[in-house]
Amino acid sequence: MENKDLMKLLDEVQGDGDNTPKEKRIVLIDALNLFFRNFAVIGTLNSEGAHVGGLGGFFRSLGALIRNLEADQVYVVFDGIGSSNNRKNLIPEYKSGRNTSRITNWEAFDSYEDESNSQVDQIVRIAQYLKTLPVKTVVIDKVEADDVIAYVGEKLSHNKENKVYIVSSDKDYLQLAKDNLIIYRPIEKRYYSPSTIKEKFGCPASNFILYKLLMGDSSDKIEGVKGLGPKKLYKYFPELQNEGLNLEGLLNIAEEKLKEHIIYARLLSDPHGLKNKYKIMDLSKPMLDEKDIEYLDKFMKEPTPKFHPQIFLKLYNSDNLGNLIRNVDVWLKERFEKLV
């Protein structure tokens, strides 16, 4: 699905006739995913020589998303401190080695330490800016943004008058897609609905977690089944193309076909490890405790924060962001006033 198809997609649930209730468009943004993408591609320095590409690019992207998706409400979700610990307890290699020593922008930084410090400074500053905008910002200690977004997205999509958009390049979210819950991957500039997922990957959205389990996920250090690639996947597991398959069903298929090919034996070689991998990727059961769920249920009912454009402008000018956002005062009015 390309950008030109967006308006058609947005109108799908509205139906015909003037009496159809107007859908509420809610956007859930994976904050760090959006930040690091901008940090990597925008090398802008301010007048004092400080890198501000991640900071300015984040808000420029936020404004574009609000405009393009015609958002009525926005959630910006951050990973909490120690958020990967729950999944690392299941698989110690989870997300290990991500950018441990690589400099993204050699022109702006002399060392990885300098770059890392700049990332932290800009993320903290983003949080300060967000307090001035009519968006709902969420961060829970020891909880990943994935889990918060999965829970909130599923909860909000229960109301069929809501159209929910998850913004992230993380493919794990594709398993959540349904008619009124769409995933937008900025890295591809592509929208994923259930039909788009079926067209591109050959399986229904509900089976995408099994697709990833078999294929693996290099970004999260999750190994797939050795010798199994996209061309062989449906040769050995044609059942994956049909609705209703779960992990237990997948294992039963492998047991029944065990003597037919070594692929099935490899899948069954470590059932405990396999189940842990599945649990790590399963966003239908977010890793939230009762307090987290209670907090999020209450948070979703709270009113949208107040809009303080003048404070945003003071922060913007004090950081010398210059023309990173053109006509920033007009931009603030056009992008955020309608969220109030």
CA distances from 249 to 34, 120, 163, 177 (A): 36, 44, 32, 21
What is the residue-level pLDDT of the chain in tens, covering all 340 positions?
A: 555 556 555 555 444 445 556 799 999 999 999 999 999 999 999 999 999 999 999 999 999 999 999 999 999 999 999 877 666 556 565 555 555 556 676 677 878 899 999 999 999 999 999 999 999 999 999 999 999 999 999 999 999 999 999 999 999 999 999 999 999 999 999 999 999 999 999 999 999 999 999 998 887 778 899 999 888 999 999 999 999 899 999 999 999 999 999 999 999 999 888 999 999 999 999 999 999 999 999 999 999 999 999 999 999 999 999 999 999 999 999 999 999 9
Nearest-CA neighbor of 333 among 304, 305, 310, 315?
310
Distances (CA, A) of 91 to 84, 88, 234: 10, 5, 27
Q: How far, in Å, CA of 176 to CA of 197, rounded?
A: 11
- Give the separation between CA 31 and CA 145, rounded to whole angstroms: 8
- Chain length of the chain: 340
Instruction: Give Cβ neighbours of residue 224 (< 8 Å, ≥ 6 apart).
Output: 213, 214, 215, 216, 217
Contact 141/148 with Cβ under 8 angstroms? no
pLDDT at 17: 47
Phi/psi for 164 (5° steps) reads -105, 135
